[in-house]
Structure 1
Amino acid sequence: MSTTYADRVAAHDPGAVDAARALVQGMGAELHRSWTRPGAFVDAVARRARQLPPAHLPWFWDTVGHRLIGYGSRPGGRAYVAARGRGAARSARRSRLPQGRRAALRPGRCHGPG
């Protein structure tokens, strides 16, 4: 079980470490609830990610990607794209777009990667 995000916060933002650890624990519970639908897991944690400071996002999304190892490449790929920055800005916009447009923004669609 990856704790990369909580470890990074502990080292660089000690005031937020309790919240980061709680978020990582919540990730485990959410993944357990939606293990047959890893895309739903990514959507759920994306809602939580919108409340994080921008500096936390790459580490948060790396941890999400680690958690998704073994659940297929698409959900993990979404997390790794977000961790690398391009997806971080999109994750904030994604909640305001209609469902069909949201699908067009996913990696691997006709608009190219990421």
Structure 2
Amino acid sequence: MKYTEEHEWLNPEGDLIVVGITEHAATQLGDIVFVELPEVGTEVSKEDEVVVIESVKAASDILAPLDGEIVEVNEALADNPGAVNDDPMGEGWFFKIKPSDASQMEDYMSEQEYLDLIG
């Protein structure tokens, strides 16, 4: 698994990368009440805004961590956005992306580096 400075996690799953936010980010956002996911088949570039999250505290954008194609989204979040708070590192994932350049994963932090970042 890799982590971004924007508190996203990236978990390789075969030739796909599953993307979500960390427990730290979910805690900082507070209760999540709405999640807008991208369309399957959307081509994205690294740092494109792809997910909108609304919580009781704020609205936030999730950026594409890699260039590629969105191949699956977590439809369950439409009915249960709170799953991001309940299980951000599992059932609260946002989308799966097929990267066009998997070497971009090397730009991100290991778990220990991320833990050092959030202190």
TM-score with structure 2 setting the length: 0.30
TM-score with structure 1 setting the length: 0.31
Q: Give the helix-richer structure, 1 or 2.
A: 1
Q: Give the strand-richer structure, 1 or 2.
A: 2
